Amino acid sequence: MKKVFLAVIALMITFAAQAQIEAHVKWSYAAKKTSATEAVVLIKATMDQGWHIYSQTVKEGGPIKTSFTFAPSKEYMLVGKPSEPKPITHFEKVFNMNVGYFENVVIFQQKIKLKSAKASAVKGKVEFMTCNDSKCLPPDEVAFSIPLGK
């Protein structure tokens, strides 16, 4: 009987822990070849109503900025850094600074130069922090693999 009771308690703790995980950003990816030797990788963040993520250009001392790490590859080379649209800028008392952020939907773009006609996918990860008007979630990291197509 004691084992059954402990198993029920363990299950309740597991369900409670899973219920507390919050995810307010959905990521989607695409790639578009612009020529035989170039492509653009599109990384889209869709945020739940009332939530936002920060720009790549947030200065030191501010919230965790969105950042991309691309896996090295012999098939392609990055051209510059990921671009982003103009963020919303707002003074945040908590950080005592202006910060740029995005609400609803944002699309980041990374140009690449193809070194091989057989280039199949761009791999990497995005790190970001999600906040609303009352709280911020711990920074999160999501891995991606974006097919380049033909």
> Is residue 15 a part of any domain in this protein?
no
Indicate whether 14 belongs to any domain: no
Q: Is residue 118 part of a domain?
A: yes
pLDDT at 150: 60
CATH classification of the domain holding 76? 2.60.40.1250
Q: What is the CA radius of gyration of the chain?
A: 20
CA distance 54 to 131: 9
Closest of 10, 22, 4 to residue 136, by C-alpha: 22
Along the chain (150 residues), what's the average pLDDT of each consecutive run of 10 residues?
39 41 93 92 97 96 96 94 97 91 98 88 96 93 89
CA 48 and chain centroid, separation: 14
- C-alpha distances in angstroms, 27 versus 38, 43, 45, 65, 127? 23, 7, 5, 16, 11
pLDDT of residue 22: 86
User: Is residue 6 included in any domain, yes or no?
Assistant: no
- Residues spanned by the domain of 62: 24-147
Residue 29 lies in a domain: yes
Whole-model pTM over 0.85: no
Is residue 16 in a domain? no
The answer to whether residue 133 sits within a structural domain is: yes
> Across 11-133, where does the E strand assignment appear?
25-33, 38-47, 52-54, 67-70, 76-83, 88-92, 97-103, 105-114, 121-128, 130-131
33 vs 40: CA distance, rounded Å: 6
What's the confidence (pLDDT) of residue 10? Answer: 38
Strands 140-147 and 121-128: antiparallel
Distances (CA, A) of 74 to 81, 114, 122: 18, 9, 11
In a domain, residue 42? The reply is: yes
Output the CA angle 47-48-54, nearest 5 degrees: 40
Total domains present in the chain: 1
